[in-house]
Amino acid sequence: MASLRAHIGAWMVRRRVKAPLARAQSVEDVRRILEGAGFPDPRDVTFEPGSLGGVTGEWVRPLSGKADHRLLYVHGGGFVACSPKTHRPLTGALARRGFTIFAPAYRLAPEHPFPAGLEDIVAAWTAFRASGPASLAGESAGGNLALATLLAARDRGIPLPSAACLFSPVTDLTAIDGSRITNGSRDAMFHARSIVEVAPLYVGEGDPRQPLVSPVFGDPAGLPPLLFHVGDREILRDDAIRMAERAKAAGVDAHLRTFPVVAHAWQFADRVLPEAKTSLDEAAAFLKRHADLETSR
């Protein structure tokens, strides 16, 4: 059963984000809405500018100094908005759970359509992984890029992460049915056509069905263990479910959990929302467990 705070949080997101997004007339409007809807920066972690593989970004570490695991985190924002700075509440929450994190500031659409952002993540991942075992995570569009990075790394012979965690990932930029429709009014942040409308900005003149754009059309065989978390009222619910099912069918150790009521990217509210704490606790434990297994081999 969902907490009372989950209901309150969903109501607030619906009022402060969904309604303005429905009125947005430009990419600049979307950026202003998404980038202005965050939480304060956490105070118990450090944020330092950095660069990996020629890609700028941000290092995130806990003030406690206990960060025995390494994580590359890919921020969301509909492929067109946000940055490592906007996602500090989320990366900071993961850092507090014992991770040294690098969050790449990948290039955004429509100024830089596919494959620019993906190539930035692959370059950053290649450099990050060269220093030793590491995990990968991302939410929303960042979850899409994380999954595409897994497919690209596998096919290019780049070492894969120990495991990956995907929070409400966009896995199909062509979908116009299922939860994209049935959850259109229930989703606290997005409308039924939200992904369809933003997809051309990211894909450009490319094919939205190609696996590096829509990972659900790819072959997940050989990918590392995957953990999917998604809200049962999200328009992206079926994106996570279908990707998890395809991964399992291909022999991947894939796990899926759906959360009732929560708004998209509810993990941002780690300090106040029980479901956010639960999601991040589970994700951290999952990533650490598989990283430790790889290290012990």
pLDDT score recorded for residue 63: 92
Higher pLDDT, 123 or 293: 123
pLDDT tens for 281-297 read: 999 999 999 999 888 87
- Of the residues 83, 140, 162, 168, only one is catalytic, namely 140
pLDDT band at residue 128 under the 50/70/90 scheme: very high
pLDDT score recorded for residue 257: 98
* Angstrom distances, CA of residue 261 to CA of 11, 102, 159, 186, 187: 10, 30, 37, 9, 9
Peptide bond into 115 cis (omega under 30): yes
- Of the residues 75, 229, 264, 290, only one is catalytic, namely 264
Q: pTM surpassing 0.85?
A: yes
Active site residue 245: no
Peptide bond into 110 cis (omega under 30): yes
- Of the residues 119, 139, 234, 275, only one is catalytic, namely 234
Q: Three-class SS string for the chain?
A: CCCHHHHHHHHHHHHHHHHHHHHCCCHHHHHHHHHCCCCCCCCCEEEEEEEECCEEEEEEEECCCCCCEEEEEECCCCCCCCCCCCCHHHHHHHHHCCEEEEEECCCCCCCCCCCHHHHHHHHHHHHHHCCCCCEEEEECHHHHHHHHHHHHHHHHCCCCCCCEEEECCCCCCCCCCCHHHHCCCCCCCCCCCHHHHHHHHHHCCCCCCCCCCCHHHCCCCCCCCEEEEEECCCCCHHHHHHHHHHHHHCCCCEEEEEECCCCCCHHHHCCCCHHHHHHHHHHHHHHHHHHHHHHHC
CATH of the domain at 271: 3.40.50.1820
- Is pLDDT above 80 for 132? yes
pLDDT score recorded for residue 158: 98
pLDDT tens for 51-93 read: 999 999 999 999 977 888 999 999 999 999 999 999 999 999 9
pLDDT score recorded for residue 296: 81
pLDDT score recorded for residue 294: 84
Q: In the chain, what percentage of residues exceed pLDDT 90?
A: 92
pLDDT band at residue 205 under the 50/70/90 scheme: confident
Burial class (CB in 10 A: 0-12, 13-18, 19+), 48: exposed
Q: What is the mean pLDDT of the chain?
A: 96
Number of separate domains in the chain: 1
Residue-number span of the structural domain to which 52 is assigned = 4-296
pLDDT score recorded for residue 39: 79
pLDDT tens for 208-244 read: 999 999 999 999 999 999 999 999 999 999 999 999 9
- Is pLDDT above 90 for 1? no
Quote the CA–CA distance of 257 and 99 in Å, as a whole number.
Answer: 22
Active site residue 234: yes
Q: In the chain, what percentage of residues exceed pLDDT 70?
A: 99
